[in-house]
Amino acid sequence: MSFGLRCAALLVALFPASASAQERAELDERFAAEFLPLLQQRCLECHGERATKGGLDLRGWTSADAARLEPGVLAQMRARLEAGEMPPPERERPSREEVERALAWIGAALREGGPVDPGRVSLRRLTRLEYRNTVRDLLGLAIDVEERLPVDPVGAGFDTLGDLQLLSPLLLERYLELAEELAARAVPSAATIDVERLASAFSGGDEIAVGGVDARGLYSHGEFVLELELPREGRYRVELRGCGDQAGPEAPRLDLRVGQRALGAVSFPTRRGELHAAPLEVELPAGSAQLSAEFANDYYRPEEPDRGARDRNVYLASWRVTGPLEPPPRSAFQRRCVDRADGAGERAREEIVGELLERAWRRPPEPEALSRVLALAPPGTPEDEALRRAIAAALVSPRFLFRPEGLARARASGADGTSIALDGYELATRLAYFLWASAPDDALRGAAARGELAAEDGLLRELRRLLRDARASALVEGFAVQWLQLARLDEASPDAERFPHFDAALRRSMRQETELFFEALLREDRPLEELVSAEFRFVDERLARHYGLEGVRGAHFRRVAIPEGERGGLLAHASILTLTSNPRRTSPVKRGKWILEVLLDAPPPPPPPEAGALAEDPASASLPLRERLARHRRDPSCASCHVRMDALGFALEAFGPTGRRRAQDDAGPLDPVGELPDGRKVADLGGLRAVLLEGEALERAALRALLVYALGRALEPHDEPLLARALESLAARRSRGEELSLRTLIEVVATSEAFRRRRSEDGG
C-alpha cells in the first residue's frame, strides 16, 4: 500500500465521520502528543519565532481548537507535507512516520470540523452551453451560441460561477432578439405572400418603356435588386417578366441570388417589346431578404453584319414573388405541446402555455404568473401568434435566464441557522445542469414533485438515470474541456518550419481524442486512475500517423490498445503535450504546472514580482534546457515553485512539442528524469504515473474541480471540511472493495451537503 493510501486508511480507521465527544478528545490528545511537537521542532523557526515566511504565523497554534479555526492553512500544510516541500531541503526533515501521523491528524481535523457550510452561491445565469442545450430540449431547435452570444467569463477554471455572470444591456438585447427568433421558429407562421413589383419598385438599370410598359434595362454588366419581407423560410415561386435584344448564340440571362447564395437563372428569348414570363422555384429565408438578378451573359460584336444582332441587352418589367408554396412543417415544439393538447381554444392555450412555463422555468408556474403570460395575447389573437408571444415571454424571463434558488424558502423546514435544504425543483435543476448542462426533463421534475430527491437513494436513482442518457455528454463539453484546459490547444502555435506536419486537422483530431477518452471513462464507469494509466486511446488516420501507429485508415475514430511503455492516459495525449509546449520546444515548466493544477490539486502560487523569466539571451539559449532551468532555480524567488514543477515536467521530455515520441532534442540524448523536493526521482512516463497515483491527490483534484463546476462558486478555506468528508466517503467505498471512478466522484459531489443545501441567510 502506498504512503498516501496508508494515511487515508489510518484516517478512516481512527476517525470515522461525525466524531463523538470522546473521539474529539482523542484527537485533541493526538494534537498535543504528535502534531504540536512537529510544529515546534520543524515549523516555528520559519513561521513564528524568527520569521513569518509566506505571512504564516503558527505561534497561536497551541491547541487543536486553534488549528481547527484555520482549515485553509491546514489544507496548505497538508499539500506541502505531501509534496515533501516542507520543511525545506536545507533543514532536517521529519521521518516518514511523523509525516504520516501529521497528515492523518490534519485529515481528521478537517473532516470533523463541525457542520459543512454550503457556501454562498450567487444567482446563476445560463452559460452559452446551458442556453443552447436548454433551447434544444425545450423547443427542439438548434442555435449557434458561439455566433449569437458573448463568451462567458471564467473564474476558478470554469464559466459556471454565479459571481461573474453579469447581465449587460448588450447581452439582454441579444436575449430579446433570440427569444423572438426562437418563438418564430418554434411556431412557424402559416402566412404567405403574393407580391408583384413593377419596374419602379426595384433598383438597377436604366428606366425604359418596352411595348408601352415601363421597364428597366441593362446594357452590359449590372443587376436588378428587390428588397422583400418574407413571412417564413420555405419554397417560393419567383417570376420575372421581361424581354431582350437578342444577339449571339444565347438569349439574355439573369442569374438570381438571395444575399450571396445562388438561386438559379432565367432567360428571355423574346425581342424588345414582347414580354416573356420566366418562373423559378427557389428556397428563401424568413425575414428581410435582398433578391438580385445579375445580367450574366452580355454580348457585343460591332463587326457583326446584321446590325440587329450586334448587342445583347436585357429588360425587366416586373418581379413577382409568391409563397411559401407549402404549409409550414410542424415544429418539434408543436408536435410535443400543441398537437397533444387536451382541449380546444382558450383551454388548450392555457394547458400548452402552462406546460411551456413549467419546462422553461424548471418548476410549475404560479397561477398569477401563468395569467400574466396568457394576458399577452388577448381573446381573438390567432392561436399561433399567442403561442409565439408566450414562448418569447418565457425565454426572456429571469426565471429562464437565471437559476433562482430559495423561492420556497418561507415554506422550507429544517433550517439550522447555517444552511437550508434546497426544495425538490431546485435540487432537480442543480442536478440536471450539473450532468446535462440543460433543464430537468419530465421524469426528473416528476421525482422532484413527489419529494423523491430529498432522500439520498432517490437522488442517486435519478443521477444514475441522467448519466445513462446521451445528454450526459455535456460533462465532456462543459466540465472536461475546462478542467483539462483544452481551450488552450486552440492557442497553441507550433513553429511551422520545425513542425510542418501540424495543421488545423491535426489540432482537431488531438482535441477529439481527449474528449472521446474522457467520455469513455465516464460512460464505461472505468477507474479514475485510468486518467493517467489507461491502456487504450482513440485515433483517426491523421492522428495515428502522428503517433506512428500502423494500420489505421479513415477519418473515423476508433479505440486502439497502446503498449506498456506509453500507458499514460492524458499524460501521453498529443493535445495536452502540445498545449503545454512552446512554439519551438517543450516546456517542462508548463507541463509541470499543468500537472500540479489539474491532477495534483497543488497549483503553484503566482510568481513573485522579483521572479525573472527563463533567460533567452544567445549565450543561455545555446545551453541544454535542463541546465537553463537549473540556473533559473538558483534564484531563491523561483526555486520554491520550480523545484517540483520542473521535476514533473522533465518526466515528459520523451514527448516533443507536438506530442510525438522522441529519443533526443536539439541538445542531444534526452534525460527524462526529475528530482522531487523530498529527493525522490521521477523517471519517464512510468515514474510520473506512479507519483500521480500515490495517495489521494488525484481524487482530491477531480473532486475539487467537480465541486466548483457543480456548485457555481470557487472553493474557499471553509470548504476544506467538505472536501475532507468527500474524500473520507471515497475511502470508505474503497475499503468496501469498490473501484473509484468518475461516476463515484460525481455521486459523492451530488449527495454532499454543499450540493443539496445553501446558506440560509442568502435570501431568495
The phi, psi pair for 699, rounded to 5°, reads: -65, -45
Q: What is the pLDDT of residue 622?
A: 56
DSSP 552-576: --SSS-EEEE--GGG--GGGG-HHH
- Residue 82 Cα distances to 252, 593, 682, 683, 715, angstroms: 83, 17, 15, 19, 20
Q: Which three cell numbers stand for residue 392?
A: 418569447
Provide the residue type at 659 as one letter. Answer: G
Residues 6+ apart with CB under 8 A from 662: 654, 655, 656, 670
Q: What is the pLDDT of residue 670?
A: 85
How far apart are the C-alpha atoms of 286 and 273, rounded to whole Å?
Answer: 35
CB atoms within 10 A of CB 680: 14
Q: What is the pLDDT of residue 419?
A: 80
How far apart are the C-alpha atoms of 537 and 556, rounded to whole Å?
Answer: 13
Domains of the chain by start residue, with CATH: 3-111 (no CATH), 193-323 (2.60.120.260), 479-692 (no CATH), 699-759 (no CATH)
Which residues of the chain, if any, have pLDDT below 70? 1-20, 49-51, 87-90, 113-115, 341-345, 407-418, 607-641, 761-764
Residues 6+ apart with CB under 8 A from 415: 760
pTM recorded for the entire structure: 0.83
Residues 6+ apart with CB under 8 A from 83: 602, 644, 676, 677, 678
Q: What is the pLDDT of residue 410?
A: 38
- Nearest to residue 118, comparing CAs of 706, 707, 728, 745? 707
Local structure of residue 353 (DSSP, 8 states): H
- Judged by DSSP in three states, 664 sits in strand
Q: What is the pLDDT of residue 760?
A: 73
Angle between helices 742-750 and 504-523 (to 10 degrees): 70
Q: What would the pLDDT profile of 193-252 be if each residue is shown by its tens digit?
A: 999 999 999 999 999 999 889 999 999 889 999 999 999 889 999 999 999 999 999 999
Strands (E), 670-738: 673-675, 681-683
From first CA to last CA, the distance across the chain in angstroms is 48
Residues 6+ apart with CB under 8 A from 648: 588, 591, 592, 595, 596, 674, 682, 688, 691
Work out the angle at residue 754's Cα, subtended by the Cα atoms of residues 694 and 737, and round it to the nearest 5 degrees.
40
